[in-house]
Amino acid sequence: MSNDAQTRAWIEVNLDAVRANYRTLERTVGSSRRIIPMVKADAYGLGADRVVRALAPLSPWGWGVATASEGAALRALGVSGPVIVFSPIAPNAFELAAKHRLTLSVSDLESLDCWAAAARRHGPLAFHVEIDTGMGRAGFDWRETGSWGPAVRERAGDNLRWEGVFTHFHDADAGDAGPTAGQWRRFNDALAQLPVSREDLMVHAANSAATLRWPEFHADGVRPGIFLYGGNAAPSALGVPVPESAMALRARLTHLRRVPPGTTAGYGATYVSRGWELWGTLGIGYGDGLPRVLGNRGCALVRGSVTKIVGRISMDMTVVDISAVPDAEVGDVATLIGVDGEHAILLDEVAGLAGTISYEILTGFTPRLPRLVP
């Protein structure tokens, strides 16, 4: 690991944990199901290049991205297998997607026509149809399958291969299985109306949570995301496997000062020292993606001890009360997510304190933080 990259703040990526989490999913679904790791948003902020290289020897069926440019980047890495773009793309992105032989998810006939035109220019291309069963953001309406299904079939042919069909669950991480089961019924109602045999299509629906909780929804393949990267796929559900932690967030102490009672910290002076306290400034802030809401709420581990963030988090700096670590020195490493000694700060714990989800924490870290593999 480069010392130059550890001068201020950084993220440590544990690829062994990513592989271990993949194997947990593999054991859950069995050898007959296809696995499509989601590596969109730069593999949830951990680096798509290193994650793809780490998982490739485990032979995933394909890869999931959100944009044509993300798919093109995977091709530049040497990925030759299926790369599915799971979000609708803008009209000016079809050419890029076709050039790199990506597989599009299609939500409307107009997009399918654009993809068919690209296939006439570039040769055979594939697509998967998304069926909206309640998510509401993309996909053909499940209630209108009798109308759009034949239209899709008419447009498919030798140059435009209808490879798969899928839906997306909106509540698979919730405690109640009812909404997900309801979506599954809608999905199967739509599948029964399609003018092609179900056996001729790859059917998939399960994200990380559904993969780990409900074998009956595994279909032909699954699309895990957050579990691979160390996030609890269903925090409110019992019996769901806990992933191995795939990242740690570290920052160095860049300044120390002992302050008297009544000293204020940060914008708005939201914290006032109650007595003599030892404060340490960390070289990290919301400009690095550390949520500002963690001010006066979050923690950091310094020399194995728990220290509290005091005052509001600034763009580039964060202050912690390290009175319990009197021997701390400038240059010491603080852990904001990860393990130090006998204590750990978990990704989901930080997300909870920030009032959000682990997905947003991971993808919110900016390029200013080097991603390092120990």
pTM attached to this predicted model: 0.96
Q: What percent of the chain has pLDDT over 90?
A: 95
Least confident range of 40-49, 181-190, 227-236: 227-236
Half-sphere exposure of 285 (CA within 13 A, CB side): 15
**Would you state the structure tokens that stand for residue 212, as one six-digit string?**
């780990």
How far, in Å, CA of 198 to CA of 374, rounded? 46
Checking if the pLDDT of 358 tops 50, the result is yes
Concerning whether 308 is annotated as a catalytic residue, the answer is no
DSSP string, 129-157: EEEESS--SSSEEGGGHHHHHHHHHHH-S
Q: How many C-beta atoms lie closer than 10 Å to residue 180's C-beta?
A: 24
Checking if the pLDDT of 2 tops 50, the result is no
Least confident range of 4-8, 12-16, 28-32, 48-52: 4-8
For the stretch 264-290, pLDDT in tens is 999 999 999 999 999 999 999 999 999
pLDDT of residue 17: 98
**Would you state the structure tokens that stand for residue 4, as one six-digit string?**
């130059």
For the stretch 218-236, pLDDT in tens is 999 999 999 999 999 998 7
**Residue among 22, 40, 229, 286 flagged as catalytic:** 40
**Residue among 22, 44, 267, 286 flagged as catalytic:** 267
Structure-model confidence comparison of residues 2 and 129, the more confident one: 129
- How many angstroms separate the first and last alpha carbons of the chain? 6
Concerning whether 267 is annotated as a catalytic residue, the answer is yes
DSSP string, 234-288: -TTSTTPPPPPP-EEEEEEEEEEEEE-TT-EETGGG-EE-SSSEEEEEES--GGG
